[in-house]
A = this chain, B = another copy of it.
Amino acid sequence: MNQTIKTMLNHRSIRKFSGEKLTSDQKEMILKSAMQASTSSHVMAYTIIGVTDDHLKSDLRAVSGHPHVENNGHLFVFCADLQRNYQVTAADKEESVKQNIESTEQFIVATIDATLAAQNASIAAESMGLGICYIGSLRNDIKRVDELLELPEYVIPLFGLAVGHPDHKPEIKPRLPLEAIYHENKYDDDKYKQGQLVKEFDRYLKTYYQSRSTNKKISTWTEQMENKYKVPTRMDVTPFVKSKKLNLH
């Protein structure tokens, strides 16, 4: 197994960082790696915002609720961005450009582009011995984040990425078994209807939670998913995205 794969298999989210900031070189290496990720038809429909302002970091922490949004080596926010492409092309055939850019298809493209870049950024950081944590909780109040970062139309914040020097070493979190995620040639719905794979994973995860070094708890994957979905959450994301004229028609 090569070092790159070892790095990926060794991934665990880091939620406690030392006070040390990333160097310019580290940031540059992370950003260059991010930008070399694949992009759909060369559209590069994303923007990365680095947050260095302490007040802004504190405001973003308040949205997220997580201290590591404020305390880290560097915070990136990844945005789906079709504004750049709109500005480049709108002079010619504006109505058609709008129809494309405001479609679900282009919303998918921009979300994928931003995420491909973010995962390269994460792997680059981890390959240098840094830790990372994705911050989906910026979508707890996506409108507020949008205002804080002064995003124009056709741009939305998707998630943050906190990077820094790890100050703890949590266990690697188990994943569903490979056969639950990977199918061949067609979707095999029976895997879930029988429920066996999930039941086994529930038992396995329960043991993991009880045996890990910190934050021990008694829970299964099923219970966590039930808790997650039992109350409608972040329903304001839908009108927000449409207000930015993405995913509109």
Contacts and interface: CB of A to CB of B under 8 A. Distances in A.
**Copies of this chain per assembly:** 2
Contact of A249 (B34, B238, B241): B238
B93 A230 contact: yes
Interface residues of A, number: 113
A159 B238 contact: no
B241 A52 contact: no
A48 B249 contact: no
A181 interface: yes
B103 A238 contact: yes
A139 to B, nearest CB: 7
A3 B139 CA distance: 34
Interface in A104-149: 104-105, 108-109, 111-112, 115-116, 118-120, 122-124, 127-128, 132, 134, 136, 139, 149
Contacts of A229: 85, 89, 93, 96-97, 100-101
23 contacts: A8-B120, A9-B32, A9-B36, A11-B37, A31-B181, A32-B178, A36-B172, A37-B119, A38-B119, A38-B122, A47-B182, A47-B187, A49-B182, A49-B184, A52-B185, A85-B229, A87-B193, A87-B195, A88-B198, A92-B226, A92-B230, A103-B234, A149-B187
